[in-house]
Structure 1
Amino acid sequence: MYLIKVKGVAKIPDYVQLRDDKFTLLAYFRVDRPEKSLDKIGLGDKYDYIMGVVRDLPFGKILKLDI
């Protein structure tokens, strides 16, 4: 699974993309509202881990997660 943090501009907020190994989009959510999207794809129990990684990840970088 891959994680990408996208910087928002002006009134558009920052977003996070979660993609599978074939780079298919699994989830796309605002950094400040991830709970519903993570629950929807079955990763609600990994919330603390994923959001910890998101906080430390620079914008525009792609990170491979082993979940």
Structure 2
Amino acid sequence: MRYYFELTDEHYNDLGAFIPDGNNRQVAINKARQWMKDKGFKKAVLAVNSMRTGNLLDAIDIELD
């Protein structure tokens, strides 16, 4: 299964981060963490969407220390 990812704030507003499409959620989480670190964000939500249906499959809370 292939996914596309969106990094949002806690209110699901798009943060404009580029997270490449793919099939590995952990790679997307790592890219999101790096983007957040570079931009100074402490909390975000990674939305995982199906490429086939466009449906939201998961929302992963990410928090940096």
TM-score, with length taken from structure 2: 0.36
TM-score, with length taken from structure 1: 0.35
- The structure whose residues are more often helix, as a share, is 1
- The structure whose residues are more often strand, as a share, is 2
